[in-house]
Amino acid sequence: MVFAVLFATLSLRRHAQLLTSGYDLGIFDQGVRAYSEGRLPSSLLKGIDYPLLGDHFSPLLATLAPLYLALPGPETLLVAQAVLVAAGVVPLTIWAARSLGLRTALVVAVSYGLSSGLLHAIAFDFHEIAFAVPLLSFSLTALGNRRFPVAVLWAAPLVLVKEDLGLTVAGIGALIAVTAGRSGRPGRCLGVLTGLFGVAATVLESYVVIPLSNPVGQNSYTGQLGPGGAIAQLVTLMSNDLKVTTALTLLVPTAFIALRSPIVLLVIPTLAWRFLSENPGYWGNAFHYDAVLVPIVTAAFIDGLVRLSRASQWTAAAHRLVLVASLAATAALLAVSPLAQLLSPTLWQPTAHVTAARSVLAKIPDGATVAASNSLAPQLTGRTEVSLLGILPIETSQPRFIVADTSIPHQFPLDADALTSLVSSAQAAGYRIVDVSDGVTLLARP
């Protein structure tokens, strides 16, 4: 509950201060809204009726649709994400408490809940991976306790969260098969079948389902991982500061004890496609990509401690030292964590710019068609039909209103100069200025 409130507060305050974006909060808001209306998910922010199942295969998002019947809007997504991500701490903490005691369980809970991977995800809009976090936590807790059928039941829905997570399911299956084989427990066949299921799901979703749903008949992401580029990235893997920092940020809060557990191997599928891609946006920990890895390294942390506790040379003093090191590392990483924003007065008091922007946005009537810049789009998706300036040409979308924040130097997909030029072009095309305040310009079509 504490983490859920903490996460929700951070994300809602960021949204209130216009720090969320059309890419991606606005897109998911439009997609879940479509589900709530009985339609397949689509987003005007990505293009005219752009089918989101042709972007990423995430049908599990439909489970949020009932919430929209009562509380539609991006704020609902942010709170739902906070609850989902926080829920992952429950099975892991219970496992740690039962196996290692309450003190260790508290340290595990802190290292999980205050992890860089989760906090950066919370601070970067909403994403479908919120569903993967608790599913992985429950699955790996069952795996660590050798309850293999339960582990598979929790892991199987991951293939409905995002197409690449089938490879993580395959990894869970492989661990089950190996563990069952070594221990003589039943489950080897189950592990093999789970592995095959995970691989088949990723291949089918990535190369059949997504291209069939995509407007241009292809998966936009598989092309980012070519053989030549992957080899080049592999050669420079250990010399890339961004990639090394990402790996260390995941492992340091576990005092590297996670490396004592085979569960840690489950980070490989996700880190492989990220680190071998030529897209630098995947390499670091500034976005949401580490979130699915946090329950993995936390489970490996617990399993590693359990294994060490059974070793004759492991002492209570060594155990306490690990716990202190974990807390110290977690505290040190908080200094560069998005959570520090909660201590800033600017997150709690609206700036003059935010006040001016909201005053301008209030002049757009509900149900209107609007072309908005990225920082303003998620403020409007709950009550208007919003396209993104720079994605759809104005001549194509022909919105009734155009609203742009030219005070932000760099935002996706247009910088301030490009937005200013677009506003001038719209005026030349007949749009008239309704209001201008602190860099936020609202135009209307006669």
DSSP 242-307: HHHHHHHHHHGGGTTGGGGSGGGGGGHHHHHHHHTSS-GGGTSSSSSTTGGGHHHHHHHHHHHHHH
- Could you tell me the pTM of the whole model? 0.93
Give 3-state DSSP helix, strand, coil % of the chain, rounded to 5.
Answer: 65, 5, 30
Q: What is the mean pLDDT of residues 413-421?
A: 91
Token digits of residue 288: 């949401």
Confidence class for position 239, pLDDT limits 50, 70, 90: confident
Q: What is the mean pLDDT of residues 55-81?
A: 95
Terminal Cα-to-Cα distance of the chain (whole angstroms): 50
Confidence class for position 425, pLDDT limits 50, 70, 90: very high
- In sequence order, the 6+-apart residues with CB closer than 8 A to the CB of 409 are 415, 416
Report the C-alpha gap between 1 and 138 in whole angstroms.
17
Closest CA to 251 of 239, 263, 269, 240: 263
Every domain of the chain and the residues it spans: 85-342, 352-444
CB 402 within 8 A of CB 370: yes
Report the C-alpha gap between 170 and 114 in whole angstroms.
28
Which DSSP state fits 207? I
Does pLDDT of 86 surpass 90? Answer: yes
Kindly list the distances between the CA atom of residue 51 and the CA atoms of 27, 61, 219, 328, in Å, as whole numbers in the listed order.
11, 14, 12, 45
Closest CA to 323 of 309, 337, 311, 313: 309
Q: What is the DSSP string of 97-129?
A: HHHH-HHHHHHHHHHHHT-HHHHHHHTS---GG
171 vs 237: which has the higher pLDDT: 171
Q: What is the mean pLDDT of residues 138-143?
A: 98
Judged by DSSP in three states, 312 sits in: coil
Report the C-alpha gap between 15 and 30 in whole angstroms.
16
